Chain A
Amino acid sequence: MSLRVQFAGLTLKNPTLLASGVLGVSRSSIKNVLQHGAAGCVIKSISLEERKGHAAPNMLTFEGGMLNAVGYSNPGVDEAKKEFEKLRDLDGTVIASIVGKDEHEFAEMAERLLPGEFSAVELALSCPHTPGYGTLAGQNSPENTESITRAVREKTKLPLFVKLSPNSSAIADVARAAEAGGADGITATNTMGPGMVIDIQTGQPILDFKMGGVSGPALRPIAVRCIYDIYKAVRIPIIGCGGITYGRDAIEMMMVGASAVEIGTGVYYRGIDVFKKVCREIESFMEINRYASPKDFIGRTHKLEEV
């Protein structure tokens, strides 16, 4: 029995990856996450220029998960280039995440950040709380998704994943657009919303940006449905993301079509070794059900429909 998965030219020793936006801010923090069982990490998104992001508070949790409005704080591409050195020495796959205001900025980011160190790249077209980027800039429309994907495709041969928003009204169309633009895979999904949480003593929204992307258990069933829809629409592989806390959540996403999963908010609930825990739970499920490899149950939900 092996947890190894292969897709889009990547080989992962297990199906768990660190999701972008969480912990992956420096080489040291990535090394730490890899030591806690993740097969790979997606770094926190990098933009052309340094960004301070939104004022605090920019994260909170509620009974269904987490809200965040970090707003792409990052040191900018030049500093990031210095920070993310010698990634190939690490015991895991490191995937870049880039953001831009339009396809030209995305292309420039790809050109400047990607060469040399990273094993793949993820394009975040789906942040719901940063003006000028993601859904607030309409990057999640099929047209913009296709043009941005194509612009990056022309600049890199690395496996290219496009991270979609669960808010997209017809997510299958957006996934098809990414595929048409040359994507090697889809990451589904980013946070949903944005949502709001109010402090009722003062009447004030707690997040300083007032609203933020919703992640965690509340997002999971929506992400699962998105992956289900996308799997039917495209041939390229899918990385599942959104509310994975336990092994069963990862298995669920793989059954509707994910080849691997990203975990973010799960770090909050189960600690930095959530990756190890989720892998152990998948393993025990595989043992009980006599699966030799995750590929034996990836897409199972769809295969049942074929009969």
Chain B
Amino acid sequence: MERPLGTIEQPRSLPIKKIVQENANVRTFYFATEMKAKPGQFVIMWIPRVDEKPFSVSVNEKGTLGLSIADVGRFTHKLFTLKVGDYVGIRGPYGSWFKLEPRAKRILLVGGGYGVAPLAYLAEQAKHAGIAVDFCIGARTKDLLMFEKRLRDLKATLHVATDDGSAGQRGFVTEAANACMEKNTYDSVYVCGPEMMEKKLVELCAGRTIPCQVSIERYMKCGFGICGQCCVDGSGARMCTEGPVVTGEYASKQTEFGSYHRTGSGMKQYYHGH
């Protein structure tokens, strides 16, 4: 991809238009912008003198951009103190996206935790294109489930799994997804969530020869393909540019997928359970 000389890559300060509490830990922040992001792409949000963080897009319609964000760290603590009308910087969108096959009839979406956010946006596009959507959503407990109502309103076939059984079936979302694949035929499977769960799904899909797409999240700095921080071992590809969304087949060739990721300094950090 070429960019003309003079291209400017800087956060644009936008006021927060609306804030919606989605569950115990997640709020969706809405902005008025003509930005066009596809499901699975991300934007980078800047709070001056605090930090800058990437977030996938969960809503993008009629001049509105929505980012569904969990309160997990220093940056998000600060963000959660902001009110409607306060400014943050937004740049992007960046990266690859989940692709729908034009001839697809039925697809399976599997979202673990906050991974539901980009997939809910994808589900809307799929339904709009006349594709039947089965959606497995998983979370640790009932009050951490995301977008249950949004997806029911969309008339996606919903399968809920929680670790403690407080909603839907007790167990991992991978088991719910496996049961769906056992029973139904899917043209494609779309996965976003914790990496160990993604790896399991990629293996399950490979075993059943169902094409799948998965979003690989890596620590990143620039977002536009130059700093190298998000390059994965295996291909060396940049997850901000060639990723974050890749095919399951591609993901399984990356030696670090499901094994480790790198911190801001480049130190390897192994996933729990590896």
> Contact flags (1/0) for B121-142 with A, using CB distance below 8 Å?
0000000000000000000000
Partner-contacting stretch, out of B2-10, B35-43, B188-196, B205-213: B2-10
Provide the residues of chain B in CB contact with A24, threshold 8 Å: 228
CB pair A70 B267 closer than 8 Å: no
Q: Is residue A97 contacting chain B, with contact meaning CB distance below 8 A?
A: no
Known: A60-B9, A217-B5. A23 touches B267 (CB 8 A): no
- Chain B minimum-CB-distance residue to A29: B231
Task: Determine whether A168 belongs to the interface, using a CB cutoff of 8 Å to chain B.
Answer: no
Residues of chain B within 8 A of A306, CB atoms compared:
none
Question: Would you call A25 and B87 a contact (CB within 8 A)?
Answer: no
Q: In chain B, what residue has the closest Cβ to A265?
A: B226
Residue B23 is within 8 A (CB to CB) of chain A in the complex: no
For the complex, give the distance between the alpha carbons of A177 and B237 in Å.
Answer: 40
Q: Check if A79 is an interface residue, CB within 8 A of chain B.
A: yes
Q: Does A130 belong to the interface (CB within 8 Å)?
A: no
**Also in contact, A271 and B265, with CB within 8 A (given A28-B233, A57-B52):** no
- Out of A63, A66, A74, A271, which one reaches B2, CB within 8 Å? A271
A64–B7 alpha-carbon span in the complex (Å): 9
Contacts of B52 in A (CB 8 A): 56-57, 208
Instruction: Give which listed residue, A26, A53, A245, contacts B231 with CB less than 8 A.
Output: A26
- Kindly state whether residue B11 has any CB partner on chain A within 8 Å: yes
Q: How far is the CA of A56 from the CA of B50 in the complex (A)?
A: 8
Contacting pair A208 B236 (CB below 8 A): no
Q: Which residue of A lies closest to B254 (CB)?
A: A28
B267 lies within 8 A of A75 (CB): yes
Q: Are A70 and B46 in contact (CB under 8 A)?
A: no
Interface of B: prevailing SS = loop
Which single residue of chain B is at the shortest CB-CB distance from A270? B2
Interface residues of B in 216-262 (CB under 8 A from A): 221-222, 224-229, 231-238, 262
A269-B13 contact, Cβ under 8 Å, with A24-B228, A50-B265, A75-B266: no
**Which B residues are in CB contact (< 8 Å) with A264?**
226
**B168 interface contact, C-beta 8 A:** no
Distance between Cα atoms of A162 and B219 in the complex (Å)? 31
Contact A199 B236 (CB under 8 A): no
Max chain B Cβ within 10 angstroms of own Cβ: one of A22, A44, A202: A202
Contact between chains at A51 and B236 (CB < 8 Å):
no
Known contacts A28-B236, A73-B264, A269-B7: A56-B87 contact under CB 8 Å = no
Q: Is B165 an interface residue (CB 8 A)?
A: no
Are A70 and B221 within 8 A (Cβ)? yes
**Counting chain B CB atoms within 10 Å of each CB, which of A32, A33, A57, A66 scores highest?**
A57
A258 CA to B226 CA, complexed, in Å: 24
- A52 to B267 Cα, complex, angstroms: 10
Q: Decide: B13 and A32 in contact? CB cutoff 8 A.
A: no
Known: A75-B265, A271-B2. A59 touches B231 (CB 8 A): no
- B171 at interface by CB-CB < 8 Å: no
CB distance from B223 to the nearest CB of A (A): 8
Asked whether, in the complex, the Cβ of A22 is within 8 Å of the Cβ of B228, the reply is yes
Say whether, besides A25-B231, A26-B231, A29-B231, A55 and B225 are in contact (CB < 8 Å): no
Q: Which residues of A contact B264 (CB under 8 A)?
A: 52-53, 73
B1 within 8 A of A: yes
Beta-carbon nearest neighbor of A272 in chain B:
B225
Q: For the complex, what is the distance from the CA of A66 to the CA of B268, rounded to whole Å?
A: 28
**CB-based contact A58/B13 at 8 Å:** no
In the bound complex, CA of A31 to CA of B228 (Å): 12
Closest residue to A62 on the B side, CB-wise? B8
A25 touching B229 in the complex, CB below 8 Å, given contacts A60-B9, A70-B221, A75-B265: yes
**0/1 per residue, B1-27, Cβ < 8 Å to A?**
111111111110100000000000000
In the assembled complex, which residues on chain B have CB atoms less than 8 Å from the CB atom of A23? 226-228, 231, 238
Q: Jot down 5 A-B pairs with beta carbons below 8 A, ordered by A.
A: A22-B228, A26-B262, A55-B51, A58-B222, A245-B5
Interchain residue pairs A-B with the least CB separation, the first 4: A32-B236, A201-B13, A28-B236, A23-B228
Using a CB–CB distance below 8 Å, which chain A residues touch chain B?
Answer: 22-33, 44, 50-53, 55-64, 66, 70, 73-76, 79, 83, 197, 199, 201-202, 204, 206, 208, 217, 245, 264-265, 267-272
Q: CB within 8 Å of A: which residues of B? A: 1-11, 13, 46, 48-49, 51-53, 87, 89, 221-222, 224-229, 231-238, 262, 264-268
